[in-house]
């Protein structure tokens, strides 16, 4: 299930987002609006939910999050943008840190 969050997830919401992949959650975050979408099969699904909610493409970044370990993987086709990021992995350490902080704020340590 794909959920759009503006605040910290409840344990029930976290379980819903884990339904698709069991051990990890596909996420996309809008760094400017401080909104997170998690769940679903693809990062693209999360990105589309943010775009439908009014986010701008250049502010959206995707990562996978494993709640049990806190590990994050910052690789997604969503992150591939020739003008901003030349690989699927988030290359800018500042953007990576901001994405990490937002994911932990919304999904970490539940």
For 75-100, write each residue's pLDDT tens digit.
999 999 999 999 999 999 999 999 99
User: Nearest-CA neighbor of 42 among 57, 53, 30, 27?
Assistant: 27
Q: 61 is written with which tokens?
A: 């970044």
pTM score, two decimals? 0.95
Q: 80 is written with which tokens?
A: 């591939």
How much is the mean pLDDT over the chain? 96
- Phi, psi at 26, each rounded to 5°: -75, 130
Q: Is 103 exposed, middle or buried (0-12, 13-18, 19+ CB in 10 A)?
A: buried
pLDDT of 27 reads 98
pLDDT at 110 over 80: no
């Amino acid at each position: 299930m794909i959920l759009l969050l503006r605040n910290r997830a409840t344990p029930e919401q976290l379980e819903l987002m884990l339904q698709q992949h069991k051990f990890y959650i596909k996420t996309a975050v809008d760094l400017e609006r401080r909104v997170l979408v998690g769940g679903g099969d693809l990062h693209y699904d999360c990105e589309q939910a943010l775009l439908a909610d009014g986010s701008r493409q250049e502010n959206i970044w995707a990562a996978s999050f494993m709640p049990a370990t806190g590990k994050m993987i910052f690789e997604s086709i969503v992150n591939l943008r020739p003008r901003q990021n030349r690989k699927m992995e988030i290359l800018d350490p500042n953007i990576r840190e901001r994405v990490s902080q937002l994911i932990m704020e919304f999904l970490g340590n539940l």
